[in-house]
């Protein structure tokens, strides 16, 4: 009997341990609006040089399982865009621009964003006379930098890339100044000191032809670790601020809530977007696919980028055994089937399918420092949806009470709990009952969770909008759910609307 009682006591204790509870409060404080998520169309497993479109077909567009909407491509150091791809390392015979065209066309057709990044300007513009970065035995200590007498040629050269892409059916949305200007490399590269970038942008960025290519945006140099010494000088100079639209960088060597968060401060102050444009968190794992814990750490990186003020997150390769689409190389495991979506893609889908287009809300558990926390959270609002992300890297199940800033009437729980295909993205209905702003949800051990709630606007919301509009003459137009549609100077679509506390119909 004693043994039975002891066993029952132990079972109760274990159950109690697994039934841990916590509370998360989502606030009304709004932060950045998220432009989207993406990956790079470059060399590697997408050869011959980016022309294989299977990855973008699997990953991009609102109807895909993953929902990416930003694609990065390389602006190779040439002029014509039709030079044959050289063997690896032959940097003086530039590879072509046309390799990215097939994938870029598909992304644009699916409503996505494409942008180009130069690893090096043409070699003839540089101090070492080569597209190579300069870190090689045959060049000694000769570092490849853009020659000052060629600064005036740089943006006209970018214009030739924009012209080539447009001629071939792709309107490029943005161009960057340089991939990792702070990294001395043996492959294609170009070094810039922070002041070099300031001088280049301040004195010559006006030459980017925004009239011929309306809407094209300029991205800052994408430093290796998203360091402030490369971002802040551009934001502190008024002329540079006027030219730079997106502040960008990478995460190598520095977690998002460190340098990236600091670099985002001035960018946000001046209304600039903040993009993380390259990182691969487990590309060095060797001869296997990432395990589930490593996938959860990737989810935490995505989450921490959002908490750091990021508006766009672009992963490195689309197709690799540590990326989104399988390569077919069996040495990495039987699950690495060519053109099969890998677990990392479904981890990304929690953010790319649901956070894109949303505005981040603060929570009671926002992280301010550190990385790889046992539990992480973030929250967003998008139209009538409230979205809460929760990541549990521990062995403990949680029952989580959510205090929401709005009344909600229904909810869906998207759950990923392992590498197995059947567990990559389960969907469950959250039983809410009557409209409420307090909901209890499950957060299983070692899981990635997306909770999506539909806000209950109701008749009270319309009445509140009517009362508010009757007290102010701001001219705003609302729909029947109380949402702001547009300023009165722009005509909405056909339907019934509210302005100044009165309903009116637009034919």
Tens of pLDDT, residue by residue over 7-59, are 444 444 444 455 699 999 999 999 999 999 999 997 655 555 557 899 999 99
Statement: residue 382 has pLDDT above 90? yes
Average pLDDT, the chain: 85
> Residue 419 — very low, low, confident or very high, per pLDDT cuts 50/70/90?
confident
475 has a pLDDT exceeding 90: no
Task: Please state, as a whole number, how many other Cβ atoms lie within 10 Å of the Cβ of residue 399.
Answer: 13
Degrees, nearest 5: CA angle 395-308-275: 115
pLDDT at 458: 83
Residues 275 and 176: their CA atoms lie apart, in Å, by 11
Tens digit of each residue's pLDDT (9 = 90 or more) over 92-109 = 444 578 888 999 999 999
Provide the whole-model pTM: 0.85
pLDDT band at 243 (very low <50, low <70, confident <90, very high): very high
Closest CA to 69 of 355, 380, 391: 355
Q: What angle do CA 74, 314, 275 make, to 5 degrees?
A: 100
Domains and CATH numbers, the chain: 20-28+363-455 (2.60.40.1180), 32-360 (3.20.20.80), 459-506 (no CATH)
Q: Is the pLDDT of residue 470 over 70?
A: no
Give the whole-angstrom CA distance, residue 410 versus residue 382: 15
pLDDT at residue 482 above 50? Answer: no
Q: What is the pLDDT of residues 177-206, one digit of tens each?
A: 999 999 988 888 999 999 999 999 999 999
Res 183: pLDDT: 92
CA-CA distance, 27 to 477, in Å (whole number)? 26
């Amino acid at each position: 009997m004693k043994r039975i009682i002891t066993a029952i006591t132990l079972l109760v204790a274990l159950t109690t341990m697994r039934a841990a509870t916590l509370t998360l409060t989502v606030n009304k404080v709004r932060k950045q609006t998220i432009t989207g998520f993406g990956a790079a169309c470059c060399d590697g497993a997408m050869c011959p040089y980016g022309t294989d479109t299977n990855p973008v077909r699997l990953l991009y567009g609102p109807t895909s399982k993953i929902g990416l909407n930003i694609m990065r491509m390389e602006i190779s150091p040439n002029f014509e865009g039709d030079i044959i791809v050289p063997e690896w390392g032959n940097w003086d015979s530039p590879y072509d621009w046309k390799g990215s065209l097939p994938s870029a066309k598909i992304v644009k057709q699916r409503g996505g964003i494409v942008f180009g990044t130069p690893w090096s300007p043409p070699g003839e513009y540089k101090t070492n006379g080569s597209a190579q970065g300069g870190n090689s035995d045959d060049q000694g200590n000769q570092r490849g930098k853009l020659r000052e007498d060629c600064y005036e040629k740089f943006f006209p050269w970018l214009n030739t890339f924009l012209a080539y892409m447009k001629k071939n059916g792709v309107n490029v949305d943005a161009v960057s100044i340089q991939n990792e200007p702070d990294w001395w490399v043996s492959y294609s590269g170009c070094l810039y000191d922070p002041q070099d970038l300031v001088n280049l942008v301040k004195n010559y960025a006006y030459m980017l032809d925004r009239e011929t290519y309306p809407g094209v945006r300029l991205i800052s140099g994408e430093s290796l670790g998203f360091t402030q010494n490369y971002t802040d000088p551009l934001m502190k100079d008024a002329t540079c601020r006027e030219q730079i639209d997106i502040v960008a960088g990478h995460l190598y060597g520095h977690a998002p809530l460190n340098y990236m968060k600091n670099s985002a401060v001035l960018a946000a102050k001046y209304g600039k977007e903040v993009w993380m444009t390259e990182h691969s968190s487990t590309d060095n794992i060797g001869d296997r696919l990432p395990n589930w814990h490593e996938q959860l750490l990737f989810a935490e990186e995505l989450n921490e980028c959002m908490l750091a003020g990021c508006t766009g997150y672009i992963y490195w390769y689309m197709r690799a055994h540590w990326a989104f689409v399988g390569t077919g190389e069996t040495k990495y495991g039987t699950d690495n089937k060519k053109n099969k979506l890998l677990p990392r893609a479904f981890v990304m889908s929690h953010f790319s399918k649901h956070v894109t287009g949303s505005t981040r809300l603060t929570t009671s558990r926002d992280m301010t420092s550190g990385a790889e926390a046992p539990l992480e959270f973030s929250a967003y609002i998008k139209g009538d949806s409230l979205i809460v992300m929760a990541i549990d890297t521990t062995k403990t199940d949680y029952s989580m009470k959510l205090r929401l800033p709005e009344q909600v009437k229904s909810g869906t729980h998207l759950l990923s709990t392992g590498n197995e295909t059947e567990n990559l993205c389960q969907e469950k209905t959250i039983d809410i009952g009557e409209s409420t702003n307090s909901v209890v949800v499950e957060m299983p051990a070692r899981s990635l969770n997306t909770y999506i709630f539909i806000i209950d606007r109701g008749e009270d919301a319309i009445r509140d909008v009517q009362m508010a509009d009757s007290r102010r003459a701001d001219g705003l137009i609302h729909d029947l759910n109380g949402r702001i549609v547009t300023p009165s100077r722009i005509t909405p679509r056909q339907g019934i609307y509210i302005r100044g506390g009165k309903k009116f119909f637009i034919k």
